[in-house]
């Protein structure tokens, strides 16, 4: 009898040890690997701690996306480009107008491991394209690094934008907000596509976009063959598609393409006007020039794409190409975009025009 009791006690003790070991292993595994994992936009599996409230944003598009999600208060470190408020082009990024970031720690770039670690961040968000660079940053800081994809032709209608939002929504516990934004973008695009189908004139629109900006260079002949507002509306972009960022064309190519609408990005408006004046004799027979159909747009990109500006430009371009079909109040539509992307902070359309100038409108060139 006593022997049987001793065996039961021994078995019970072994069971406790085994259970304790499982609990300890599980706890250690949770500590080492984070409370959940995500697959980032570079195909990396990253372990994320729960209740993230301190993050560092590095490279183009990271801070912008975080602000869209209403998580600006989590940011404890930014790179030198987002921190440098002295640049004359700084406010061409709409997100720089929405939130004042000058007091956030400037950590430089992905190679300043100590400065990044000293922020106390729990997660780093970076749009660096090389997975090896993200891995190195994670290894040397001991902080999870989430890679996003915010470069090239990732416009407002791209799958990459919605994937970025949903990824960061999960990381920052902002999934509801990410869904709200992605649904809004999808619904807006669908509405504009449906309206364009009612138009009998948009199919005849031959559009040129000049004045774009990339790596501190721009002007009348900095262009793109891939602009989502044109594609959504079904308007013909006279420039050929090229993978990647805005590229340079030549006056002769614009003349041959003969657009009947010219749109100019506001970011290089002065330099663009000078080029236009210099080449006016060559451009005088272009239909858009002859008919006075030259218009300015909000800045499409600065340190990544201003995705909210693409939607605002979409509303404006539609009203230009077919005012009978797109007969809404343009300013109200554009303000509604700002209200959705930056809710509750009172950001006004006039603020964007003041900082980016001239905004949207007819150019008397």
CATH of the domain at 81: 3.40.50.1980
CA distance 306 to 178: 17
232 and 171 in a single domain? The answer is: no
Omega within 30 of 0 (cis) for the link into 358: yes
112 and 154 share one domain: yes
Q: Give the tokens for residue 352.
A: 């964007």
- What would the pLDDT profile of 343-363 be if each residue is shown by its tens digit? 999 999 999 999 998 999 999
Structure token digits, residue 183: 């649904």
Residue 16: which pLDDT band, with cuts at 50, 70 and 90? very low
- 80 phi and psi angles, rounded to 5 deg: -65, -30
User: Does residue 28 belong to any structural domain of this protein?
Assistant: no
How many distinct structural domains can be found in the chain?
2
Q: Token pair 């602000």 is at which residue?
A: 67
pLDDT confidence band for 87 (50 / 70 / 90): confident
Last residue of a domain, one of 149, 179, 209: 179
Q: How many angstroms separate the Cα of 287 from the Cα of each of 82, 103, 195, 291, 292? A: 40, 49, 25, 6, 8
- Report H helices in the chain: 2-33, 62-68, 80-83, 94-98, 113-118, 131-141, 159-171, 175-197, 228-233, 251-257, 269-278, 280-283, 287-290, 307-321, 330-341, 349-356
Task: Kindly state whether residue 184 falls inside one of the protein's structural domains.
Answer: no
The pTM of this model reads 0.89
**CA distance to 51, 118, 126, 353, per residue, from 41 (Å):** 21, 26, 10, 33
Pairwise CA distance, residues 166 & 15, whole Å: 43
Mean pLDDT lowest among 6-10, 88-92, 181-185, 251-255: 6-10
Domain presence at residue 21: no
Strand partners, 261: 207
Comparing CA positions, the residue from 265, 267, 296 lying closest to residue 87 is: 267
**304: DSSP letter:** S
Say if residue 354 is in the same domain as residue 205.
yes
Domain that holds residue 151: 35-179
Same domain, 55 and 119: yes
Does residue 19 form part of some domain? no
Same domain, 175 and 205: no
For a pLDDT cut of 90, what percent of the chain falls above it? 83
In a domain, 321, yes or no: yes
Give me the chain's average pLDDT, please.
91
Q: How far apart are CA 168 and CA 175, in angstroms?
A: 8
Through-space distance between the first and last CA atoms of the chain, rounded to whole angstroms: 106
Do 133 and 238 belong to one domain?
Answer: no
In the block, tokens 């210099």 appear at: 278
Residues 222 and 81 in one domain: no
Residue 56 sits in the same domain as residue 138 = yes
User: Could you give the percent of the chain with pLDDT greater than 70?
Assistant: 90
Same domain, 115 and 75: yes
């Amino acid at each position: 009898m006593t022997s049987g009791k001793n065996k039961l006690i021994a078995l019970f003790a072994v069971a406790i040890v085994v259970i304790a070991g499982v609990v300890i292993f599980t706890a250690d595994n949770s500590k080492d690997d984070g409370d959940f994992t995500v697959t980032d936009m570079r195909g990396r599996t990253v372990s994320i701690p729960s209740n993230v409230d301190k993050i560092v944003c590095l490279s183009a598009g990271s801070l912008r996306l975080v602000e869209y999600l209403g998580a600006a208060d989590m940011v404890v470190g930014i790179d030198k480009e987002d921190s440098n408020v002295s640049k004359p082009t700084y406010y061409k990024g709409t997100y720089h107008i929405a939130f004042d970031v000058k007091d956030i720690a400037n950590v430089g770039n992905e190679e300043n491991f100590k400065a990044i670690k000293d922020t106390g961040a729990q997660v780093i968000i970076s749009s660096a394209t090389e997975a090896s660079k993200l891995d190195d940053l994670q290894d040397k800081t001991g902080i999870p690094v989430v890679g996003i994809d915010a470069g090239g032709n990732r416009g407002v209608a791209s799958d990459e934008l919605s994937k970025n939002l949903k990824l960061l929504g999960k990381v920052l516990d902002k999934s509801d907000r990410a869904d709200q934004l992605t649904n809004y973008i999808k619904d807006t695009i669908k509405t504009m596509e449906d309206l364009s189908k009612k138009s009998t004139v948009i199919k005849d629109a031959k559009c040129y976009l000049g004045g774009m900006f990339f790596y501190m260079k721009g002007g009348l002949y900095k262009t793109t063959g891939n602009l989502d507002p044109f594609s959504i509306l079904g308007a013909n972009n006279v420039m050929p598609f090229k993978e990647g960022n805005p590229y340079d064309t030549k006056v002769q190519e614009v003349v041959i393409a003969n657009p009947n609408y010219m749109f100019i990005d506001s970011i290089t408006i002065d330099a663009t006007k000078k080029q236009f004046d210099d080449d006016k004799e060559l451009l005088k027979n272009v239909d858009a020039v002859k008919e006075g159909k030259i218009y300015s747009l909000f800045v499409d990109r600065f340190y990544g794409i201003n995705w909210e500006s693409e939607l605002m430009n979409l509303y404006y371009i539609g009203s230009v190409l077919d005012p009978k079909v797109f007969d809404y109040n343009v300013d109200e539509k554009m303000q509604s975009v700002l209200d959705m992307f930056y809710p509750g902070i009172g950001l006004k359309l006039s603020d964007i025009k003041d900082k980016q100038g001239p905004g949207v409108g007819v150019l008397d060139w």
